[in-house]
A and B are shown apart, each in its own frame.
Chain A
Amino acid sequence: MTMTLIETITVGSGGAASIEFTGIPQDGKDLQVLVSARNTSTSTIFRFTLNNDTASNYTPLFLRGNGSTASSSVFAPLNNPFALEQTIDSYTANTFANGNLYVSNYASSVSKSISGDSVSENNATAAFQLLNTTQYSGTSPITSMQLFQTSGLFAEHSTASLYSIS
């Protein structure tokens, strides 16, 4: 297995509502995105779409801990599936969540399976751990990926690194 860094993006001052990778090379088997993220507001999870597809073609389920209890959920298809955890503005200053989102067989012409794991950071009881999967029913090869906030922004110094797995 070879893991090749395609690109790393660091959010600059002022933040960003989304990070979008376009023109993804089609020469790999799987895609992996490693993210270090902090939200400027109160949103504990950022979202993703593939190929700018904002229809309800994503079926997520997840197992999540919040520092005191654990829960699991299966959702009806969404148009803005969960990507990964992130620290929020009220959490310990200068801390960032980290996580990984993995897209299998991204260049294929069948539906795609996505898995993620992530943890947020906070010097308090409340901090999240998330294991999630998403079944994406789109069958086109993945040429773009959008990581986005539904409220607030990716804070300055958040990073996203896209890797090709072959």
Chain B
Amino acid sequence: MSETPVKIVVDLSKPKGQRESIIELTSAELTEREEMRIESEASQAAQDKSEKATAAKKLSGRNKLLALGLTEAEVTALVG
């Protein structure tokens, strides 16, 4: 197994059976991949934060409805 990650390049201008090449990433590609990893982790973290905020709001709203005297069944019927 190669230590350097590889890419599979499929050249569709070639006849079937001759299209696939497996090529090690260049140092420039490895650098770009690292930059994209950092960016994608940041966007993923933002997404995770958004999902947690949504879940927290949902729970808070549910608790407020229960505090108003609605039953669990009624709250579930209203908001799922």
Contact = CB atoms under 8 A, between A and B. Distances in A.
B12 A54 contact: no
Given A21-B12, A69-B51, A73-B47, A153 B5 contact: yes
A16 B47 contact: no
Contacts of A25: 12
Interface string A61-82: 0001010111101010011100
A69 B58 contact: yes
Interface residues of B, number: 33
A40 B2 CA distance: 15
A153 B33 CA distance: 11
A3 interface: no
B51 A23 contact: no
Interface string B1-36: 110011111111110100110100100000011001
Contacts of A24: 12
A80 B58 contact: no
B51 A66 contact: yes
B39 interface: yes
A19 B7 contact: yes
A79 B33 contact: no
